[in-house]
Amino acid sequence: MYCSALSAEALPIKANDHAGVDYMLRAMQVRPASLFSFRVPAFILAATLVPSAAFCQQPMRHQQILELVDRHAAHFSGTSRTIWEYAELGYREEKSSTLLRRELQAAGFRVQAPVADEPTAFVATYGQGEPVIGILGEFDALPGLSQAAAPDRSPVVAGAPGHGCGHNLLGSGAALAAVVLKEYMERNHVAGTLRYYGTPAEEGGGGKVYMIRAGLFRDVDVVLQWHPASKNAVNNGGMLAINSAKFLFHGVAAHAAIAADRGRSALDAVMLMGNGVEFLREHIPSNSRIHYVITNGGAAPNVVPDTAELYLYARNPSSVVLGGVWDRILKIAQGAALMTETTLDVRDIGGSANVLPNDALAKVAQRNLEEVGGLRYTPEEKHFAEELQKSLPPGGAGELDSAASIQPLQRPDPNAAAASTDVGDVSWNVPTIGFETATFVPGVVPHTWQATASAGMSIGQKGMIVAARALAATGADLFSDRQLVLDAKADFRRQTEGRAYQSVIPAGQKPPLTYRNK
Ligand SMILES: [Zn+2]
Ligand SMILES: [Zn+2]
């Protein structure tokens, strides 16, 4: 069943009605500076999202979904702003996790917390029976990226964490989609189980891997997820598999001048391991990435260091190829210990798989994202974005209008620059599809103060609402169309045939709740 026109209630004013937007802005009596900084009413956010030509061919269920998203948009924009202010690091997201749990509980979800030996992980469930559809939420911040919602470098607290990956939006937008889907299911007596997964410590802590181990995804049919970005697209696979570990060498301390011959330097072992890794680079697939830091290099030049530590990440588009590279890195570490007569502990081993594509889900996700459309900036947001773009490297700024459009569906290029995510592990266990939306000013990359700034104001919140619309519409399709779920599962079986999921994290290892050095 298709609608003949989008109802006036769904969008109080037309998105391309500039006079209407101007009127709203005047009515709000907001000064431009305050507009970026705080919560923007739902009607303004909704009014500046871009309706696509496909709006009027949407199934009726999507019309309901859009109305519900608009109803809750301002509230969850506020939630995203509160979590942005909390800016808690991985496994320490007590306030952020509690806030999201409370929101979901208040909306009628049953909440199980904590789970998987992770104090801030939780699962919120609504409904029962099949299909079981999961939505992933993240809420951890990054160290050192504290930043006001301002277009110039202005930390709120110098050196403090900030939401430079936009996970405040990710967790809140996923919760918005979940609450909307629950209301849709209730209103239409839709059978099935909806779950929101509160997944902590995405930034290096591998929170989802331990949730998978605890069996929390075992009965799930399809997982939906999204991530903040500077464009609107469906993410059909991609990202890099990653292995990480701390290589701690133990030597013998000695006076570095009087009795250097008695010493066995752990720092020498670290340096030799680094050199070995540099020589290795030439002889591994060129789309690999290896990066490391020295987290302990000794205390004083006149003491031979008896402990030293190198913290290393290695990545490749394929988990299988990465496994081979990792084995060689371990040999280099053992070689460095042998050369220096030190001993080696490899600890805090972490890792995530690459994200598997799912073509059946990608097609539906793309259609829905195109229906939802992108977003348009108000004049004040445009001014903010242009100011922010002045801080980007030459040629780094993207077209502001690009936030209004949707990228065509394509498989990721395995040679393109990419990051890693523990969503990869989920995708090896459950058919998974993801969106990215233009929450960051075009040209801004994640893990920067510019991303923190965007994630704390209305541009980020508008992108979050686009994601929530696309997630909820896709969820509604999955609950309504059993064949779609079967197709997704068939595609998943094809992708994983003969390739069993195996995490690099040792079987008995507990979540690294104190994995940071500070
Ligand atoms: Zn990140
Ligand atoms: Zn992220």
Reported as half-sphere exposure (CB side, CA atoms, 13 A), residue 436 has a value of: 20
- 59 Cα: distance to centroid of ligand 2 (angstroms): 32
- 203 Cα: distance to centroid of ligand 1 (angstroms): 6
Cα separation, 67 vs 46, in Å, equals 10
pLDDT of residue 453: 98
- 167 Cα: distance to centroid of ligand 1 (angstroms): 8
Q: How many CB atoms lie within 10 A of CB 360?
A: 22
Q: Phi, psi (5° rounding) for residue 408?
A: -65, 155
pLDDT of residue 70: 97
* Residues in contact with 472: Cβ distance below 8 Å, sequence separation at least 6, in sequence order: 65, 68, 69, 176, 177, 180, 181, 184
Position of tokens 């202005």? 154
* Residues in contact with 98: Cβ distance below 8 Å, sequence separation at least 6, in sequence order: none
pLDDT of residue 504: 86
293-327 pLDDT tens trace: 999 999 999 999 999 999 999 999 999 899 999 99
- 138 Cα: distance to centroid of ligand 2 (angstroms): 8
Pairing of strands 289-296, 307-316: antiparallel
- 165 Cα: distance to centroid of ligand 1 (angstroms): 5
- 456 Cα: distance to centroid of ligand 2 (angstroms): 15
- 228 Cα: distance to centroid of ligand 1 (angstroms): 9
Give the three-state DSSP class for 59.
Answer: strand
pLDDT of residue 488: 98
pLDDT of residue 412: 85
Report residues near ion ligand 1: CB below 5 Å.
Answer: 165
Question: Which 8-state DSSP code applies to residue 34?
Answer: H
**What proportion of the chain, given as a percentage, has pLDDT over 70?**
88
Q: Is the dihedral of CA 211, 213, 219, 220 positive or negative?
A: positive
Give me Rg for the CA atoms of the chain.
24
Tell me if the bond preceding 32 is cis, omega within 30° of 0. no
Give the three-state DSSP class for 273.
Answer: helix
- 496 Cα: distance to centroid of ligand 2 (angstroms): 25
Tell me the three-class secondary structure of 278-302, residue by residue: HHHHHHCCCCCEEEEEEEECCCCCC
Cα separation, 306 vs 408, in Å, equals 55
- 94 Cα: distance to centroid of ligand 1 (angstroms): 19
pLDDT of residue 44: 56
- Tell me the ligand closest to 170's alpha carbon: 2
Q: Token pair for residue 125?
A: 């469930």
- 419 Cα: distance to centroid of ligand 1 (angstroms): 8
Among residues 78, 164, 173, 101, the alpha carbon closest in space to that of 135 is found at: 173
Task: Check if the beta carbon of residue 427 is closer than 8 Å to that of residue 228.
Answer: no
**Within the chain, which residues score under 70 in pLDDT?**
1-48, 50-58, 515-518
Q: Which residues sit opposite 112 in a β-bridge?
A: 123
- 55 Cα: distance to centroid of ligand 1 (angstroms): 32
- Tell me the ligand closest to 447's alpha carbon: 1
Give the three-state DSSP class for 325.
Answer: helix
Q: Phi, psi (5° rounding) for residue 297?
A: -120, 20
Q: Is the dihedral of CA 403, 409, 415, 418 positive or negative?
A: positive
- Tell me the ligand closest to 203's alpha carbon: 1
Length of the chain: 518
Q: Token pair for residue 326?
A: 């990792």
